[in-house]
Every structure is written in structure tokens, then in C-alpha cells.
Structure 1
Amino acid sequence: MEPRSSTIFSVRAGGDPRRMAALAVHAEAMGFDQIWTGNDIFGEPGLIALTAMLSATDSIRVGSAVIDPVSIHPVQIAQFSSGLQTFSGNRFLLGLGAGSQVFFDWAGIAPAAPVTRTRTALRAVQALTRGESPVGLGKGFEEWTDQAVLRQPAEVPVYIGAMGPKMLTMTGRYADGALPLCLPPRQVLDARDQIMAGATAAGRNGEELDIAACLWCSIDDEADRARWILAEHIALYSGSLATEVLERHGFDPEEFVRTQKLMLDGNKSDAIKTVLTSSTMLELGIAGGVDDVIDQCGELMNAGVRHLSFGPPMGADIARAMTLLGEKAIPVLRREIS
């Protein structure tokens, strides 16, 4: 497999299967390379949506972002991944992640540590979809047997929803790609370095990995409306962002603390205004009109980013946002950024 030179553009969205099938058709028409949807337990039925999306499209690649190996056993993940890969003519991408401990607590589930369970599942799925048993892979596979093989295996690229250093390093050692949520967008450069270090330590060519910069993007015909929508999203999640990451990228954590307090006190409008008037908080994502988005994405591509993944909030209308990206922004970025 040769190192990739062209840039990949993808979109991330959620919803019921019918909505996701329609969005996948639209994303394909707009020239996106990939579309991803989630499958959180207690959330929307992502597995059904994946089937609907692949059935409705012809060329776009469709991915799960992400499936946890706790609520669904790795053998079953390998089984339906192989089926989706065969059914779609090799257009399925498997995204794996540790899953949310909050959701597991709701169900009374006590899983292994996040990196451990993700690594074990990743290696098991890779072996199973190759038509092999995971037996003999080392720690975590002592109870498997030679009979643990799929009847109809089909290899599938495996991406990891990675955020922390240990998960990113593990991704570089074993996975085919990564789906780090990049808040701010330039955080993808740190994630890339950690993934590359893991790949190098394992004797792999890190240039072959597909590292997606998973962005919060808001684009609209009216730039100010796009910025307001991103500001609302930042205000909503202002208390969930790691202080260490904020400080490393030049943000003031106290601004986020104040914004979170306003939200908790029911002062949503003031919280959004705080984000909009801050000199830095909007830099957590990409927002504005077409030219604004082109400029911000161009900076990332010039820094070596080769996969831009646009995700919520996306704007007032996700279909319109996809149209603006697909018809106006992406062609310019493909043409002008080498």
C-alpha cells in the first residue's frame, strides 16, 4: 500500500436510517469521499443506518463512527463488518472506540480499561475479518480457540476513535486510520505526531494511515449565522473540554468555566455571547461563509493534513451545509492545495 497523496473529504452526521440514507445520497452527489455515522448505545440505530446508507449509494465509502466492543462483542463486530463489506463492494469502513462509561453505567456494565478493551477488539476484528482466529495474539486472547473463525470473512479497514496519548499511540501501532475529535482543529497535528510515533515503534509506515481531522464545522450562506451556531455548540460543551488541551493551544480555561456556569444557570444567550465576543473561543472549530471555511481548511492542509472530516454543528441546515462544502469549498481546496 503506497502512501496517499490526495486529500480526503468526509462528513459526519447522525439520525434515523431514512435520514442518513438521504444524507449519504446527497454527500455522494456533492463529491464527498466518505460519510460516517455513530452507533452509541441508547442512541440512534447506527447499524441499521449503515445498511441503509450503503444500499442507497454507489461509490461513497460509509463508516461507523464509532462502535464500542463492550455492548457488541468483537466477533459480532467482525461478522457484520464482513457482511457490510461484501454487500457494498468494499465501501465499508469500521470505526471502533472505547465507548462511553456514562452509557455503560446506565446499563450496569463494568468493562476493562478503555485502551485495553479497544486494542483487544481491534486485533480480534482484524484477525477474524482476515479469516483467522485471534488465538495466539498474546495477552487478552488466552481463552480463544482455533475454532474461532468466521464463515464468511471479508477484510475491512479499521479506524480508532482516539483522543488520549495512549489510545493514539496504540492506533499507530495497529489500526488503518484514526478519527480524533480535534478541538481546536490544529490539535490534529499533535494527534498525528503521536500516531506516527506508535507506527514507527511498530515498524509501520505511518504515511499509510488515514488520519481524519474530525472538526466542528459550521458553514452557512450568512457567515454570522454560522458563527452563532458554532458558538452555541461550544457553549453547550464548554464544561467538557480538557483544561490541559485548552492551555496547550492558547485558550483561557477560565473563559470556558464562566461559559459553563452561564449555561448551568440557564443564561444560554449570555453564554453564546461570551463565546462570540471571546478572542479565541470560536477557534475550537471552523465557522463562517464559504471563503472563511476555505481559508481555515487551507491552513490545515498546508500544514500536512490530508483528511478533513466535517461534523456537527454543520450549520442551520446540514443538507445546505453539505452543498456549500461540496459545490463551493471542496473544489477550490482540491484545486489549490497540493
Structure 2
Amino acid sequence: MTGFGAVFRPQLPPERLRSVVRLADASGLDQLWLWEDCFREGGISTAAAALAWTERVRIGVGLLPVPLRNVALTAMEAASLHRMFPGRPVLAVGHGVQDWMGQVGARAESPVTLLREHLAALRALLAGEQVTVDGRYVHLDGVALDWPPAAAVPVLAGATGPRSLRLTGEAADGTVLTSATSPDGVRAARRLVDQGREAAGRTGDPHEVVVYLLAATGQDAADRLRADLAAEGLDQVPGLGVAGDAGAVAEAVLRLAEAGADTVVLQPTGDEPDPEGFVRFAAEQVRPLLP
């Protein structure tokens, strides 16, 4: 079965999260994803609140920018969430938007090296290991978590370029793709991820591919979708986004699933007029149309 969810976009104020996440929980939505976009809501703080307000929905954070975070802190926060809400957090890390990283003095000369080092240390810490490493960016001296997760937890990573996609196959347990990824883009990304898995001898390990799908429904859906794509400079890229009723959206989800996505997460437009209604639409109208 294809994993399915929706995004709470951080253009919404934090105080809107409670009503959206409670509706996601009550309506049977599989997953609700949050973003740590600069300079809006914090990923861990909103995830903790969302998990505390709900009982069953999985909460994803896609993604935590590694230049902003010491890996020990990432591990401590991730482990705490997984121990308090076992099986429900889904955390992804990534390069972050480089312009934003530059604004806070955290731009890395080699984002790929930083992500590789962060992933290796983070996965080891969450596995309960004591870690000593003196890398280009990550430096730990005998660090181990007092409260690692009680069971193994996956660490996902966001990626767009070929080097980063191969890296997620080598060093992460899953890959998060942006809404700028068409079905053909998912196929290409999956090939690169699998190259990384093969190079690292990890072809037998599970590797989840999550992709966002920009979606709009209701009044002026097509206009809102076009405006969002144009704002990102993607309006001339074929195969991106979907506007229409539940049937049209479900067909777009299935195209991504057939291309290799394990989980598809609906991303509303930035000017979505009814975030709660969008979540209800996803859970009650689109989800039943998916296998």
C-alpha cells in the first residue's frame, strides 16, 4: 500500500497546527508532514506538539537542515521523540537552503561532506553506539545517548542533485524528494539512490522514497497551482503538480507510486484557503481511491 499524507506548510502560523493535526488524526490520514523552513517554525518543537496532541497519525519532519544542528543535539531530540511516541515520528535531515544557511553564518563549503558525516554519526548514536569521530565538520569524543530509541529507527535524508541522491542510498534509510520531482524524476532519483545502496552494500536494506506532490482542489485550483509553480520557476516543467477533484489527485499519486515512490505527501499551495479542509479532502476523498 502506498504511504500517504499531507503537509502543514510553515506559511501558516504555529497556532494553526493544533486544529490541523487533530483533524489529520481523527480523519484517518496516514501522515502529516512539517517543515523546518527558515525562519518560520522549528521542526522538533512543532513535531513534539503535534505528536502530543494526537494518538495515531505519523508526524514527519522534512527536513532538519544539518548546518543548523550539532549532530548530538539532533540525536538527543530524535531519540526523545521516538521514546515518547514510538513508531510515529519520521525525521529527515538535509543540506538546507544554502542562501538561508548563509544568512545565519552556517553555509558549509561542502554540503555533501557535511551531510555524509552527520548521517553516519546520527545513525550510530540512535543505534546506541558510542561515537568518536574527527571529521571535516562533525567532531564527537566518546558521545553516546543515555536514552537511545528502544528499537531501531530510520533516518531519512532530503536530496535533489545526483551526488546527494547517491549519498542518501549509501548513508540514509530513506530519501525525501521535493514537489519539483515529476514521475520521470522519481524514476531517475530511484536509480541514483539504488546506485548508492549498491556501492555501500545496502541493497538488502529497506529504503523508503517519499515525494511531495503539489496539489490544489476547489475553487480556482488550477490558477493557484500555476501561481505556485511560477513562483518557484517551475511552470514550464511538465508533469508537476495536480489540480482538480479527488479522482485527479489520486491518479497523480498513483503515477508517482508507479514511478517508485513509496510514500506520496500532498503539498497544498502556499495560499491554500482552508488547510483543515485540505487535510479532510486528502483523508476522506483521496485516500479511499488509493490501493
TM-score of the superposed pair, with normalisation by structure 2: 0.89
Contact 2:19–2:276 (CA<8 Å) still a contact in 1?
A: no
2:221 aligned to 226, 229, 234, which one?
Answer: 226
1:216 aligned to 209, 214, 228, which one?
Answer: 214
- Matched with 1:201 is 199
Matched, 1:318 2:268: no
Structure with greater strand share of residues: 2
> Structure 1 residues 68 and 206 mapped into 2: Cα distance closer, same or farther (>3 Å)?
farther
- Which structure would you say has the larger Rg? 1
> Structure 1 residues 216 and 207 mapped into 2: Cα distance closer, same or farther (>3 Å)?
farther
> Structure 1 residues 142 and 105 mapped into 2: Cα distance closer, same or farther (>3 Å)?
closer
Matched, 1:144 2:162: no
Matched, 1:114 2:111: yes
- Partners of 1:184 and 1:95 in 2: CA distance: 17
- Partners of 1:326 and 1:219 in 2: CA distance: 13
Contact 1:16–1:45 (CA<8 Å) still a contact in 2?
A: no
Matched, 1:236 2:193: no
Matched, 1:286 2:250: no
> Structure 1 residues 42 and 299 mapped into 2: Cα distance closer, same or farther (>3 Å)?
closer
How far 1:117 sits from its partner (Å)?
A: 0.9
How far 1:45 sits from its partner (Å)?
A: 2.7
Contact 1:135–1:141 (CA<8 Å) still a contact in 2?
A: no
How many residues of Structure 1 are paired with residues of Structure 2 in the alignment? 285
Q: Which amino acid aligns with 1:191?
A: A
- Partners of 1:304 and 1:42 in 2: CA distance: 32
- Partners of 1:110 and 1:8 in 2: CA distance: 33
Deviations 1:158-214, CA, capped at 9 Å, x for gaps: 111111111111101121111111424312121111111111221213672110121
> Structure 1 residues 52 and 18 mapped into 2: Cα distance closer, same or farther (>3 Å)?
farther
Q: Is the deviation greater in 176-185 or in 70-79?
A: 176-185
Contact 1:17–1:53 (CA<8 Å) still a contact in 2?
A: no
- Partners of 1:281 and 1:233 in 2: CA distance: 13
Q: Percent identity?
A: 28
How far 1:43 sits from its partner (Å)?
A: 2.0
- Matched with 2:30 is 33
Structure 1 vs Structure 2 CA RMSD: 2.3
Q: Which amino acid aligns with 1:308?
A: V
Contact 2:159–2:176 (CA<8 Å) still a contact in 1?
A: yes
Contact 1:184–1:285 (CA<8 Å) still a contact in 2?
A: no
Which runs of 5 or more structure 1 residues have no equivalent in the other structure? 1-5, 242-274
1:74 aligned to 71, 79, 98, which one?
Answer: 71
Contact 2:67–2:107 (CA<8 Å) still a contact in 1?
A: no
Contact 1:10–1:309 (CA<8 Å) still a contact in 2?
A: yes
- Matched with 1:192 is 190
Q: Is the deviation greater in 81-90 or in 148-157?
A: 148-157
- Partners of 1:141 and 1:115 in 2: CA distance: 11
Deviations 1:230-277, CA, capped at 9 Å, x for gaps: 011012111xx5xxxxxxxxxxxxxxxxxxxxxxxxxxxxxxxxx6xx
- Partners of 1:281 and 1:289 in 2: CA distance: 22
Matched, 1:170 2:167: yes
Q: Which amino acid aligns with 1:332?
A: L
